[in-house]
Structure 1
Amino acid sequence: MTATLTHVNQSARRIGRTLALVLPVVLVLSGTLAVTRVNWSGGSQSVLTASAENASAPAKSHAPQETLRDRLLLELQEENPGTVLTHLQQEVDERPSLAKHCASIARALGRAAVRQYGPSRAQSYARPVCDTAFATGVAQQV
């Protein structure tokens, strides 16, 4: 009988210790969730609902130079760097506002060309588009 009582006492202690460790965590988490549900802004919608509406809003569009860079980097996967550099030069000629971004775009193309073709072959496509920014991008990857 004493052995059974000792076993029951040990089990009760184990359960008590487990509750002592788990209960504060549960209380903190439930308190955190309760605080996020409180409407602190004073409006009629809950904070979680307002956040969900903002998340479904369309993303802001990229700047023209970012869009051009991304498009040319995708094109580089299908075309050789010489063709892509020609397209970069044409875009800058058509839209002079992109001229100040030409060097950074050409450097990005140079770095990508090294990853795709290796340094020697990528360097063979270098030309004076945006000064020598493509060659600089290739050199940075070597």
Structure 2
Amino acid sequence: MTHTARRIGRSLALVLPVVMVLSGTLAVTMVPWADNSSSRILTASAEDVSVPAKPRAPQEVLRDKLLGELRAGQQPGDVLMHLQQEVDRRPSLAGHCAGIARALGRAAVEAYGPTKAQSYARPVCDTSYASGVASMG
């Protein structure tokens, strides 16, 4: 009899804290007197923790980095050189080079205008940069 009582006691000792923590967490996020916006934030943040972040593709990371360089004031010719260096270093990016160069061309037009942006054209990814400039000009 005492053996069964010990087993039940140990089971409760393991399960009870988990149940109390979970019910306490739910109670905190569902209290009726809490501001709705803050309780939604708590609930949303609890849900976001269980969802893994989507990894970004290397070409997206590179495009965003190069566009950031361009917007930070680097000359488009230098940014195009960085694109060529990255493609040379990581040949798997070659298939995305044209799209990145077009995006750089469009961003250069926004920053410098079509005539000046075209003056920075380099033979990177064929004529993709110039194509991006022409599409905006």
Q: TM-score range by the shorter chain?
A: 0.5 to 0.7
Indicate the RMSD between aligned Cα atoms, in angstroms: 2.2
Q: Please show how residues 37-52 of structure 1 align to structure 2 within 5 Å.
A: 52=45
Identity %: 64
The answer for unaligned runs of 5 or more in structure 2 is 1-22, 27-39
Look up the equivalent residue of 1:140 and give its one-letter code: S
Q: TM-score, normalised by structure 2?
A: 0.65
Look up the equivalent residue of 2:119 and give its one-letter code: S
1:54 is aligned to 2:47: yes
The answer for unaligned runs of 5 or more in structure 1 is 1-43
Q: 2:66 aligns with which of 69, 72, 79?
A: 72
Structure 1 outlier segments of 4+, above 3 Å? 48-54
Measure how far apart 1:58 and its partner are.
Answer: 5.2
Q: Please show how residues 1-142 of structure 1 align to structure 2 within 5 Å.
A: 52-56=45-49, 57=51, 59-77=53-71, 78-142=73-137
Point out the structure with max Rg over C-alpha: 1
Measure how far apart 1:54 and its partner are.
Answer: 3.4
Look up the equivalent residue of 2:62 and give its one-letter code: L
Higher relative CO (CA 8 A, sep ≥ 6), structure 1 or 2?
A: 2
Q: TM-score, normalised by structure 1?
A: 0.62
Measure how far apart 1:117 and its partner are.
Answer: 0.3
Look up the equivalent residue of 2:61 and give its one-letter code: T
In the comparison of the two structures, how many residue pairs are matched? 98
